Structure 1
Amino acid sequence: MRDFAVSDDPRVQAQLDRLGALTVPQGRLGIDTIRVLLNRLGNPQRHLPPVFHVAGTNGKGSTCAFLRAALEAAGKTVHVFTSPHLVRFNERIRIAGKLIEDTTLDALLSEVLDAAEAADIGASFFEISTAAAFLAFARTPADACVVEVGLGGRFDATNVLESPAVCGIASLGIDHEAFLLAPEENVPTDPFVRIAFEKAGIVKAGVPLVTFDYPPAMNETIEQQATKAGARLIRQNRDWRIEPAPGGFVYSDGSGKLTLPSPRMPGRHQIANAGLAMAMLRHQHALDLPEAACAAAVERAHWPARLQELGQGPLTALLPPGTRCWLDGGHNRDAGNALAAHFVEPGSIHLVLGMLANKDPNALLAPLGERLASVTVVPVPGHDHHDPDAFAYIPLIPEPRAAADVAQALRSLRIDPAKGEIVLIAGSLYLAGVVLRENGELPD
């Protein structure tokens, strides 16, 4: 399976075709390849403005969105590297506040791909993407960089960053098991502790590491890695806290309190992600931010396909008038729990589901259970995916049925908006990208 990447610009598409043809030797792990590639490019990762480096299973993209919003509210120019993209590859690389332009993207990918081919190092899709982003960031002045880990942490290509201003770890759960739980000596054997171990691999000497409060064994392994690296660990409920308040929440740490509004992004979990971003901002010393910028960030931050309510468009026009339609790229247990916490009415959700074949069918649906009024399974275009039979054994859910695509699924639904019934399209960020494109809501 290849990461999809398409462009309306034929020059960019030519580079994306080269990028999409890359493969990674089975079992190759580590950051040696990206180091060789970056060395050939002049080590741009050593010439970046202060970096905010974020890992996690879920919520790291939202945390990055809060960080960017706070920095920009303070008048800072910000580079951002996130993944995956939803509709256009350009979404991965934001240069000084703006999505990378096609002309620049064409030239960067060509330069990095040529360097990788000349070195004959077998670089991957994500390694090329990371190198291109760092090269762009090093060549354009800015006040800060926000960099999201792609997969894991210890062996992620972004982990070549040597001295970030601060590191953060968002929510942790089981995902990408084939890579993150691969057998290895001298690593934790418990799956959840192993995930914490991998994510904490981004820790750096002298760099603050800000985390949530996880179960004790996960906290312990993160603390061990922080101590070993010589980094200060800043943990929720020990060093910083968030508490609900009328109209929002209160963030507090040893420096005082911030009274903040409710996040613009829906879902109770976004308060936690906003809190993590605030803790990262308040425990770094590279940039000064006024408190007003933190409040503005919570209200401004937006992250597409994460509990996003779709607007009027060709797809939502297929639903009865007044039907609310939500889109979420979630595909694991943590995401299922977050969705269940947001949608609380039993029998109210008509779920349109597309899930990759390498994901656990039970993980997303089990937490939703009795909230589901119907389940319609659709393909994930261009990818191996589960068919309805994969979900048939899950307790408490309606019998899954099939549709050829999202449009057919929406047409087939029998919905009564007056009873509070809603539509949720979920299961894959790849599917979410298709939905945004077809509904005319391109991420910007």
Structure 2
Amino acid sequence: MMTTTAADREIDRLLALHPKGFDLSLERVSRLLEKLDNPQDRLPPVIHIAGTNGKGSAAAFSRALLEAAGHSVHVHTSPHLVNWHERYRMGAPGGGRLVEDEVLAEAVARAAKVNGGEHITVFEILTAVTFLLFSEHPADAAIIEVGLGGRFDATNVISRPAVSVIMPISLDHEAFLGDRVELIAAEKAGIIKPGAPVVIGAQETSTAQDVLVATAERLGCPHLVYGQDFLAYEENGRMIFQDETGLMDLTPPRLPGRHQYANAAAAIAAVKTAGFTLSHRAVDKAMTSVDWPGRMQRLPKGKLSELAPEGAEVWLDGGHNPGAGVVVAEALAEQEERFARPLFLICGMLNTKDQVGYFRAFEGMARHVYTVPVSSSDAGVPNAELANRAMSAGLSAEPVNSVANALMLLRDTWDPGETPPRILIGGSLYLAGEVLAQNGTPPA
């Protein structure tokens, strides 16, 4: 049972008063920020990150790089997995910490009071809180992750970022952003500001990359493109990063999956472009210290992970669209090369996602799928319906009523003579948060 904090109570009041979800516009948040004396204009240098997949990883790598170089850095990410406080990591010497509860509660209450009951979404108020907190507490840099899209996302009131970063773009949130990659790329490109530097991460399509490059050129922005101006690759068990200044021979990233090489490269390029000097030693340290809960995370020992078959590996990932499915499947395939284990999925998903597209990435890899409800969201797909979607993608699947029951069912039917399984719990950030809470291992 999670304890209700002072910040929880303030945010619960907001949720009771204001609409849930997104209503993409800058008008309401700009009005509130003006009443708060425009704290977004008093931030340390900002690394502003958009993208469909990989933006959270890019934020995590950027933070690790800056902290390894001795800088204090604020970090805003969304959504949170377990606690609202995860959205606000406050910079401090020696490494940032999640915002203290009383500090967050006071900032939320202040923003709500200044808003005066005018129409606004909760995300917009919480974004204004980001700018309040980050402007009132000193740090050397601020990393701001876009919530949804870019052009009309509430974070997009930053007039002059130190660098805008666009990570891989694919179809997601079509109801808000459009159903073609070029439309989504145009929305993400909305964070690019005239004359401000841009780093374009590894794109899945030339269509998306062309839109981003054209936008940067039209706005007179110096820009770096993955694969042209910088890149990373594996060589002899090492990660090689290359840009116009030369090569760095690095320890491979701690985050699993070959896709993290490209995410790390984008972060290195972004931090350097933002004006920070990175020594080889600092970059190497960041590769080994980077942390990003709920994304290809080996589930720590806890109440849930102990229910798995003896010797099993349990992984957790919040990826929820076909692009994420592909990179997670590839990361698991790399694990498979090292130690052959049968793969099982425990999945819950939202009805706003392409469930069949996600499952299709695991065809031929997963022995069986257990589908579970996502109890923390009203948009969760019923588990029986989700099992049908998995079967439509060519997988063997059955519905069960919880992650705990799926793990126990697998444990009770497992042949102890067989190699212990690899289990991926995935399909939703909401589900990832539920799992970390139930396991007793929330992000810190």
Same fold (TM over 0.5): yes
Q: Matches of 1:42 and 1:302 in 2, distance apart?
A: 34
Residues 230 and 11 of structure 1: is their aligned pair in 2 closer, same or farther, counting only changes over 3 Å?
same
Q: Which residue does 2:258 correspond to in 1?
A: 268
Distance 1:347 1:264 in 2: 21
Q: Indicate whether 1:291 and 2:287 are aligned.
A: no
- Residue aligning to 2:194: 205
Task: Name the structure 2 match of 1:3.
Answer: none
Letter of the 1:108 counterpart: A
**Is 2:69 the counterpart of 1:74?**
yes
Secondary structure of 1:304's counterpart equals coil
Q: What is the Cα deviation at residue 25 of structure 1?
A: 9.4
Q: 1:9 Cα deviation (Å)?
A: 4.2
In the alignment, which residue of structure 2 is the partner of 1:155?
152
Q: 1:250 to 1:204 in 2, by over 3 A?
A: same
Query: What residue in structure 2 maps to residue 171 of structure 1?
Result: 168
- Is 1:196 matched up with 2:185? yes
**DSSP-derived class of the 2:364 partner:** helix
* Shift in alpha-carbon separation, 1:306–1:25, aligned structure 2, 3 A: closer
**8 Å contact from structure 2 (residues 309, 407) kept in 1:** no
Change (3 A) 1:412 1:88: same
CA distance in structure 2 between the aligned counterparts of 1:237 and 1:111, rounded to whole angstroms: 45
3-state SS of 2:8 partner: helix
* CA separation of 1:145 and 1:10: change in aligned 2, threshold 3 A: closer
Q: Which residue of 2 aligns with 1:220?
A: 210
Q: Distance in 2 between matches of 1:438 and 1:374?
A: 23
Counterpart residue number, 2:328: 339
- 1:24 shift after superposition: 4.3
Amino acid at match of 1:173: S
Partner of 1:137: 134
CA distance, structure 2, for counterparts of residue 74 and residue 143 of structure 1: 11
Between the aligned partners of 1:334 and 1:143, the Cα distance in structure 2 is: 33
Distance 2:5 2:424 in 1: 34
Deviates more, 1:14-23 or 1:246-255: 14-23
CA-CA distance at 1:117 after TM superposition: 2.5
Among 82, 87, 93, which residue is 1:87 paired with?
Answer: 82
- Aligned 8 A contact 1:45 1:160 in 2: yes
After superposition, what is the alpha-carbon deviation per residue over 1:183-230, rounded to whole angstroms, capped at 9, x for unaligned?
Answer: xxxxxxx70111111111110122111112432222221122112222
> Which residue, 332, 335, 345 being the options, matches 1:351?
345
CA distance in 2, matches of 1:22, 1:403: 35
Partner of 1:104: 103
* Counterpart position of 1:245: 235
Asked whether 1:437 is paired with 2:434, we answer: no
| Distance in 2 of aligned mates of 1:113 and 1:289 | 40
Q: Note if contact 1:209-1:226 (Cα within 8 Å) is conserved in structure 2.
A: yes
CA distance in 2, matches of 1:22, 1:289: 46
Q: Match of 1:377, as an amino acid?
A: T
Most deviating of 149-158 and 232-241: 232-241
| Gaps in structure 1 of 5+ consecutive residues | 1-5, 182-189
AA of the residue aligned to 2:322: R
Query: How far 1:7 sits from its partner (Å)?
Result: 6.5
Residue range with higher mean Cα deviation, 68-77 or 376-385? 376-385
Shift in Å, 1:433 = 0.7
- State the shift of 1:415 in Å: 3.6
The aligned amino acid for 1:149 is V
1:21 offset after TM fit, Å?
A: 2.6
Secondary structure, aligned partner of 2:362: helix
Superposition pairs of residues 122-133 of structure 1, within 5 angstroms = 122-133=119-130
- Quote the Cα distance in structure 2 between the aligned partners of 1:70 and 1:416: 44
Alpha-carbon distance, 1:137 to partner: 0.7
Q: 2:312 aligns with which of 306, 323, 326?
A: 323
Report the CA distance shift for 1:130/1:59 in structure 2 as closer, same or farther (over 3 A).
same
SS in structure 2 of the partner of residue 251 of structure 1? strand
SS in 1 for 2:176: helix
Return the offset for 1:272.
Answer: 1.0
Aligned AA for 1:62?
S
Structure 1, residues 217-254: CA drift from partner, whole Å, max 9, x if none?
Answer: 22221122112222112111211122222232111111
Deviation at 1:327, TM superposition (A): 0.5
How many corresponding residue pairs?
A: 427
Q: Provide the C-alpha distance between the structure 2 equivalents of 1:67 and 1:360, rounded to a whole number of angstroms.
A: 30
SS at match of 2:363: helix
Partner SS, residue 111 of structure 1: helix
Contact 1:78 1:95 in 2 (8 A): yes
| Post-superposition offset of 1:303 | 0.2
How much does 1:12 deviate?
2.1
Rounded to whole Å, the distance in 1 between the matches of 2:98 and 2:212 is 34
Kindly report which structure 2 residues correspond to 1:27-38, keeping only aligned pairs within 5 A, or say none: 28-38=23-33
Deviation of 1:52 (Å):
0.7
Contact 2:22/2:121 (<8 A) preserved: no
What is the identity percentage for the equivalent residue pairs of Structure 1 and Structure 2?
40
1:365 aligns with 2:359: yes
